[in-house]
A and B are shown apart, each in its own frame.
Chain A
C-alpha cells in the first residue's frame, strides 16, 4: 500500500512537470479574456446557428428547377439566373412588325 501511494505521488509530480510548459501556453490573453474559451464559444455559436438554419430550411418553399434540383424561392442563386438567361429565347422587341413580315414573305418566296 505504501509503495502504491509513493508511486502515485511520483506520478502526479511527473504529470505536473510534463504539463508545466504546456500550461505556460495559456499566459497570453486577448483583451483580458481567454482566447481559447472565446474561440470555442464562437465556434459553438456558429454551429448552433447552422443547426437552427438547417432545421428552418424544411419550411422554406422550394422551387423545382428543370434539372429536378430544389432551390429556395426566397434565395435564388446566381447559377439559377444564369441558367434561365441561357436557356430562355431572346426576342427583338425594337424591330418593327412590318419589316419582320416582309422578311418572312421573302423567305417564303425563295
Chain B
C-alpha cells in the first residue's frame, strides 16, 4: 500500500519539475542568442568560452527560473486565498461554476501539497543560487531576489494555514453545559 500523501506529492512535483527544467534549457539558449554570445553544445552541456559570458548567462537563466517560480507560487497563493474550498465566497463560487472553472476550487489537501512542492523548489533554488553567488558564478542580486521570494511565499503560505486552522476551530461543535432544562434523572446521571 502506497502512502496517499507521498503519491500526491510525487504527482504534484512532475509538472513544476519539467517546467523549471525546460525553462533553464530554453533560457540559456535564448539569452545566449540575445547577447550574441557564442556557445557549443557538447556531451556535458552548453560550453561557454569565457568567465564573463558564463556568469551573465547563468545569472539571467536562474532569474528566468525564479520568474517561473513566481508565476507558480502566485497561482497557488491565489487559489489558496480566494478559491479555497473551506472559505470561498458563495458568489465567487457561483461565478466560477457559471464560467465552468470549478476546477480552481480545491481542497486543503490539494492546495497544501502543491504549495509544499513549489516552496521546496523555491528553497532548493535559493540554496543553490547562494552557493553559486558565493563561488562567484552568478550575480549576487539573483540570490537576494530568491531570498525575498522565499520569505514572501512562506509568509503567504503560513497565513493561509493559520486562516485554515481558525476556520476549522470555528466549525467545531459547541456544547451547551447549561443543565437548567434537563430532566432530574438526566441531571443526576451527568453529575
Contact = CB atoms under 8 A, between A and B. Distances in A.
A7 B3 CA distance: 6
Given A17-B17, A22-B124, A27 B24 contact: yes
B44 A29 contact: yes
Contact of B14 (A17, A19, A30, A43): A17
A14 B113 CA distance: 12
A11 B6 contact: yes
Interface string A20-31: 111011111111
Contacts of A7: 2-3, 6
Given A3-B1, A32-B44, A39-B137, A24 B20 contact: yes
A35 B137 contact: yes
Contacts of A39: 135-137
B57 A18 contact: no
A49 interface: no
Contacts of A32: 42, 44, 47
Report whether over half of chain A's contact residues are helix, strand or loop; otherwise say mixed. helix
**A interface residue count range (under 10 / 10 to 19 / 20 to 34 / 35 or more):** 20 to 34
B46 A29 contact: yes
Contact of A13 (B10, B18, B132): B10
A15 to B, nearest CB: 10
A34 B54 CA distance: 11
Given A21-B20, A21-B65, A36 B137 contact: yes
A75 interface: no
B121 A21 contact: yes
Contacts of B108: none
B163 interface: no
Contacts of B49: 31
Given A30-B48, A32-B44, A25 B3 contact: no
A69 to B, nearest CB: 33
B17 A31 contact: no
B2 A10 contact: yes
B51 interface: yes
B25 interface: yes
B63 to A, nearest CB: 12
B47 A31 contact: yes
B130 to A, nearest CB: 12
Interface of B: 1-3, 6-7, 9-10, 13-14, 16-18, 20-21, 24-25, 28, 42, 44-51, 54, 57-58, 61-62, 65, 117, 120-121, 124-125, 128, 131-132, 135-137
Interface of A: 2-3, 6-7, 10-11, 13-14, 17-22, 24-32, 35-36, 39-40, 43
